[in-house]
Structure 1
Amino acid sequence: MERRKLGRTDIEVSALCLGSMTWGTQNTVEEGHEQINRALEAGINFVDTAEMYPVNPISAETIGRTEQIIGMWYERGGTRQDMVLASKHSGEGMAHARNGAPISAATIPEAIEGSLRRLQTDYIDLYQFHWPNRGSYMFRKNWTFEPRDVDPAAERQNMEDCLGALQNEVQRGTIRAFGLSNESAWGTGQWLAAAAATGGPRVASMQNEYSLLCRLYDTDMAEMSIYEDVGLLAFSPLATGFLTGKYQDGNVPEASRMTLNANMGGRKSDRVFAATQAYLDVAKRHDLDPTQMALAWCMTRPFMTSVIFGATTMAQLDLAIGAADLTLSDAVLDDITTAHRDHPMPY
């Protein structure tokens, strides 16, 4: 499994990352542990979680359960040094953590201590902010996005204060690196400038949605990633399962995500099914599995650090892992480009 540098840190992560957001709702403790063991055997050293997980649904009763499942893996003999572990600080609008309080210098120590306790570890390798305080155009908000009426000076001050709190955690040894999620080019630039001004931890990575069906990252964010060494950690690279083909022709497999979230977080539409079919046709034309093609394509992107995938069955996990051995030909890449031009921005 290929390893890639995480930003300008000395941390190396696998090109595929095991996502954990279903552990505790759609997956049991034992299933989560089985997934970790299989991923490590395959050379995946990177596991991503968050204090708000599991999802499907997110609830006050289950928040933190995924981190607890990972902690139980350590408790049962898992080796901490075998894993690069990433987690996230919830923020404004994520009501089940600290009543949705925005991320601040005051919330950071409490949030980190809570995650460390649940994870049963002394440190988190990559600590990420899940959602910008000022809001984001991610999760289909791009269609009506307008910058919120915020004071840029106050935003920058909050960033500097947060970086001060994060630096204290770096010095304590509780975190090794800092990353963002659901951010924009402007926001990332402000965080980078604040780190340069304060000496706080520099942004090492960006966790945003990215797939054949969701390519908002391809312009300004891509440029930022390349020039500033802030690589993408892509979530939903299979477009919540659409790109596997399992939802085509009106199919809704039992226990699938669509049974729990009918509109798939605003992704479901006639245009999505048409776009998906175009990519399924590319895979069929070149005798490729569509799941592996979608993941392998993400790994080819020049700004990509690691591609985060999730699985609810071991068969799904093994199929995804196989993408690491797939090299896409120029003919496949050209056909993917054609499909993208024919079906831009399906959601």
Structure 2
Amino acid sequence: MQKLPLGRSDIMVSEWCLGTMTFGNQTPEDDAHHQIDMAVDAGINFLDTAEMYPVNPIRAETVGLSEQVIGNWIAKTGRRDEIVIATKVSGNNPGWVREGRGYDGGVIREAVDTSLKRLQTDVIDLYQMHWPIRGSYMFRQNWHYDPSGQNRQQTMDHMMDVLEALGEAVKAGKIRAIGMSNESAWGMTKWIDQAAAAGLPRMASVQNEYSLLCRLYDTDMAEMAVNEDVTLLSFSPLACGMLTGKYQNGQVPEGSRMSINDDLGGRRSPRVFDATQAYLDLAAAHGLDPVHMALAWQRTRPFPVSAIFGATTSAQLTQILAGKDVVLPEEVVSAIDALHQAHPMPY
């Protein structure tokens, strides 16, 4: 498994990252621990979690369980030095965390300590803000996105308050690097410029959705990433399981995410199944597992990427890991680009 630098930090992360948002809910702790063992043994050194996890559904009473599961693995195995841990503080929410309150400098000071305790570690390698307080176009909000109500000075003041708190945590040795999630190109450059002007930690990464079916990152965000040395941590690289083919022809496997969340967070649309089938057919024509094709494609991008995938079970993880060394021939990459033009923005 190849490794790449996390932004301009001294942290090296594997080009695949094990997502843990089902740990403590759909994935019981013993299977979760087995998955971490499997991932590390396969050369993956990167785990992503968040204070609000697990999901499907997100509930106030389960907040923090995914971090606790990872912490218990660390305590049980003593393999802390073999992994890079990323977690997140929640933004404004319906009431899952802090009764709906998002984050500011004060919240971050408390939330960092709470995550450290759950994770049973002295340091968080990457600490991320889960979504911007001012709002975001991610999660299908792009169709009706309206930033006209934003107050620029309030945003700048908020960013500085947050950066100062993060700077304190870095100096105290509680976190090593910082990142954003569900952020825009404008937002990322403002975070970076403010940090540079004040001598505070700069954003090393951004965690946004990116897959064969969701390529909003390919334009302004890609340019930002290349010019500012920001690593993309791509979530949902398998489009919530759609790119496995398991939802084609009206199938909804028992226990799958669609069986819990019918529209897959807005990803289920009249266009998405035809687009998905085109990629499934391409994989079949070249003798590729569509899961392996979707993940290997992320390595071909002209900007740095570590793809975050999740597996509800160890059996699913076994299938994914079997493709860890797949390299796509140029003809497949070119065909993917052609399919993207034929099926743009299917959800």
How would you bin the TM-score normalised by the shorter chain?
Answer: over 0.9
Partner of residue 208, structure 2: 208
Partner of residue 123, structure 1: 123
Whether the 8 Å CA contact 1:16–1:46 is kept in 2: the answer is yes
Counterpart Cα distance in 1 of 2:41 and 2:32:
14
Partner of residue 146, structure 1: 146
Are 2:187 and 1:178 aligned? no
Partner of residue 253, structure 1: 253
Are 2:49 and 1:39 aligned? no
Are 2:161 and 1:161 aligned? yes
User: What SS is found at the alignment partner of 1:21?
Assistant: coil
Change (3 A) 1:181 1:272: same
Whether the 8 Å CA contact 1:5–1:305 is kept in 2: the answer is no
Q: Post-superposition shift, 1:238?
A: 0.2
CA deviation digits over 1:130-177, x for unaligned, max 9? 010000000000011111412111211111111111010001100000
Whether the 8 Å CA contact 2:230–2:304 is kept in 1: the answer is no
Partner of residue 217, structure 1: 217
Equivalent residue letter for 1:19:
G
Counterpart Cα distance in 2 of 1:34 and 1:48:
16
Are 2:16 and 1:16 aligned? yes
Partner of residue 59, structure 2: 59
Partner of residue 272, structure 1: 272
Are 2:196 and 1:190 aligned? no
Counterpart Cα distance in 1 of 2:96 and 2:245:
33
Q: Post-superposition shift, 1:94?
A: 5.1
Partner of residue 79, structure 1: 79
Q: Post-superposition shift, 1:282?
A: 0.5
Equivalent residue letter for 1:163:
L
Q: Post-superposition shift, 1:64?
A: 0.5
CA deviation digits over 1:63-83, x for unaligned, max 9? 100001011111212311110
Equivalent residue letter for 1:310:
G
CA RMSD in angstroms comes to: 0.9
Equivalent residue letter for 1:150:
Q
Partner of residue 109, structure 1: 109
User: What SS is found at the alignment partner of 2:178?
Assistant: strand
User: What SS is found at the alignment partner of 1:121?
Assistant: coil
Counterpart Cα distance in 2 of 1:345 and 1:150:
26
Counterpart Cα distance in 2 of 1:59 and 1:158:
27
Identity between Structure 1 and Structure 2 (%):
57
Whether the 8 Å CA contact 1:6–1:305 is kept in 2: the answer is no
More deviation, 273-282/68-77: 68-77
Whether the 8 Å CA contact 1:135–1:148 is kept in 2: the answer is no
User: What SS is found at the alignment partner of 1:125?
Assistant: strand
Partner of residue 136, structure 1: 136
Q: Post-superposition shift, 1:302?
A: 1.9
Equivalent residue letter for 2:316:
Q
Counterpart Cα distance in 2 of 1:323 and 1:300:
15
Counterpart Cα distance in 2 of 1:190 and 1:100:
25
Equivalent residue letter for 1:87:
T
Whether the 8 Å CA contact 2:22–2:53 is kept in 1: the answer is yes
Counterpart Cα distance in 2 of 1:169 and 1:94:
27
The alignment's TM-score, normalised by the length of structure 2, stands at 0.98
Q: How does 1:20-31 map to 2 (within 5 A)?
A: 20-31=20-31
Partner of residue 333, structure 2: 333
Equivalent residue letter for 2:201:
P
Q: Post-superposition shift, 1:300?
A: 1.4
Counterpart Cα distance in 2 of 1:322 and 1:166:
38
More deviation, 219-228/331-340: 331-340
Equivalent residue letter for 1:298:
Q
Counterpart Cα distance in 1 of 2:148 and 2:85:
33
The alignment's TM-score, normalised by the length of structure 1, stands at 0.98
Q: Post-superposition shift, 1:323?
A: 2.9
Counterpart Cα distance in 2 of 1:94 and 1:206:
23
Counterpart Cα distance in 2 of 1:96 and 1:114:
15
CA deviation digits over 1:259-310, x for unaligned, max 9? 1101111110220000000000110111100000000001211223300000
Q: Post-superposition shift, 1:227?
A: 0.6
Partner of residue 299, structure 1: 299
- Alignment: residue pair count: 347
Counterpart Cα distance in 1 of 2:247 and 2:300:
26
Structure 2 unaligned blocks of 5 or more: none
